[in-house]
Structure 1
């Protein structure tokens, strides 16, 4: 079976072309930053007291995250593959679709983008943290928390969601698609995963999406915040990595 040649987004968007690993890592940083500003932002809008969007439902959150992925992929895709997700980067490296030399720079950039994106959300909603007294609600805006705490089952949920994500992204990239359409389809995939599989854990499906903002929550002087729930943090970190590798291996054995 020959190697499948794919990228998450087209190599040429907006007049710029992917170049060195350093340039691509900058794309991962900026793209993940945009993703977290819009993703954590919709969580803040829906959950913080006195927000005009307070009380909007799960569909709004799933749609907000999907659009966040789309916008982040467009921005990051000007300079790199726009993985925006360490689980995707590691999974693609495992099957030869990303250079191993790029993994550490990409992952570091993604994590830093996740932290900075969460900081910007905190700044954008500063008066609302004081108005929101529930520390669990505040943590849930930054990081994921399970609906029913069962670490083994929560791990499986995160792994399954990420396997679907990676399989979908790899398949989209392998097929023929109009230039610039991949980020839109990737965003729709995120919406679909959120609506179908997001209920048990809040669907991190991305270590940078959870750990980056969780670190920001730990270091920022957020009014009314409580603990960071580090005891759960390994689930949305390692679950997506394992699931992403499984999804990539499934793609690798497909007869295409």
Structure 2
């Protein structure tokens, strides 16, 4: 496949992934959304179906990596690093496009949410903010729609959680989900991977929100920082390295395990 096919496929596929995955987070979170309060099950299955849709959409063009950790693992497995920048560039751009489309689709709900005094605080709200750790206070009321964040802020634990979750994801892809060319997910592999993402969300998503994908977290976090929303709060850049570094380490470890145990 050509570099242009890879870039276009990864851009479109990752945009679909974030549109539907971020969309379920918006649906569950935002004021005036019909799905508000639907809970963690809705989020876990929503992300699983987002993966399924994105893979089927982009696989004919790029093999549907949709995740820099997956691309890195496949590069290590095959000792071929030439297309890494093309895949990663398309994935980051697609993630930013998908996050922007979530904002467009829920524009009225975002506006209602960030102007609601019960949500962003009225008089005396500063006293509440002062009682919260500075890093946690930096995360605004809609940041969780765009990117992940820890329930307990401990860099070592948070990093390990992301590494473990990504190892599970990438090992499942490498052992079950590759197409005949070995460069991406086949039709059955897409379904398996979607179910694995649901399983990771239900079992390992509680501590950090299971980014398990650097582009999925970094692209939407950049969009959150750029959006013209009042009272949106900070983008929590002090934590942003964890969902980027953790999945990349996890992907590399998974590739190493595969090469030793399965290849």
Give TM-score scaled by structure 1 length: 0.88
Question: 2: distance between equivalents of 1:22 and 1:169?
Answer: 24
Q: Deviations over 1:194-224 (max 9, x none)?
A: 0000000000000010000000001111242
Contact 1:132 1:224 in 2 (8 A): no
Whole-Å Cα distance in 1 between the matches of residues 247 and 60 of structure 2?
Answer: 25
Q: Distance in 2 between matches of 1:255 and 1:31?
A: 28
| 1:78 maps to 2:53 | no
State the alpha-carbon separation in 2 of the partners of residues 166 and 69 from structure 1: 14
Distance 1:207 1:140 in 2: 15
What's the CA shift for 1:183?
1.1
Distance 1:55 1:95, change over 3 A: same
- Per mean C-alpha deviation after superposition, the further-off stretch among 128-137 and 235-244 is 128-137
Matched, 1:47 2:51: no
Aligned to 1:131: 112
Match of 1:197 among 204, 220, 223: 204
- Matched residue count: 236
Post-superposition offset of 1:78: 1.6
Aligned 8 A contact 2:167 2:254 in 1: yes
Residue of structure 1 in register with 2:223 after alignment:
216
Equivalent of 1:173, from 167, 172, 177?
177
Equivalent residue number for residue 166 of structure 2: 162
Deviation, 1:188, is: 0.4
1:255 Cα offset (Å): 4.2
**Counterparts of 1:230-241 in structure 2 under 5 Å?**
230-241=237-248
Deviation, 1:114, is: 0.2
In 2, distance between residues paired with 1:58 and 1:23? 35
Q: Which has the larger radius of gyration?
A: 2
Q: Which residue of structure 1 aligns with residue 125 of structure 2?
A: none
Matches within 5 A, 1:10-25: 19-25=1-7
Q: What's the counterpart of residue 95 of structure 1?
A: 77
| Deviation of the 1:124 alpha carbon | 0.5
Q: Distance in 2 between matches of 1:175 and 1:226?
A: 43
Which of 147, 154, 162 aligns to 1:150? It is 154
CA distance in 2, matches of 1:120, 1:175: 30
Distance (whole Å) between structure 2 residues aligned to residue 168 and residue 255 of structure 1: 12
Residue 101 of structure 2 is matched in structure 1 by 120
5+ residue gaps in structure 1?
1-18
Q: Where does structure 2 lack aligned partners over 5 or more consecutive residues?
A: 115-119, 121-138, 181-185
Match of 1:32 in 2: 14
Measured after TM superposition, the shift of residue 174 of structure 1 is 5.5
Partner of residue 190 from structure 2, selected from 176, 179, 183: 183
Distance in 2 between residues matched to 1:42 and 1:174, nearest whole Å: 27
1:111 partnered with 2:92: yes
The reply to whether residue 61 of structure 1 matches residue 65 of structure 2 is no
Q: Secondary structure at the match of 1:222?
A: coil
Instruction: Tell me the distance in 2 between the aligned counterparts of 1:255 and 1:71.
Output: 28
- CA displacement, residues 145-170 of structure 1 (integer Å, 9 cap, x when unaligned): 10111111000000000011100000
CA contact (8 A) 1:86 1:208 kept: yes
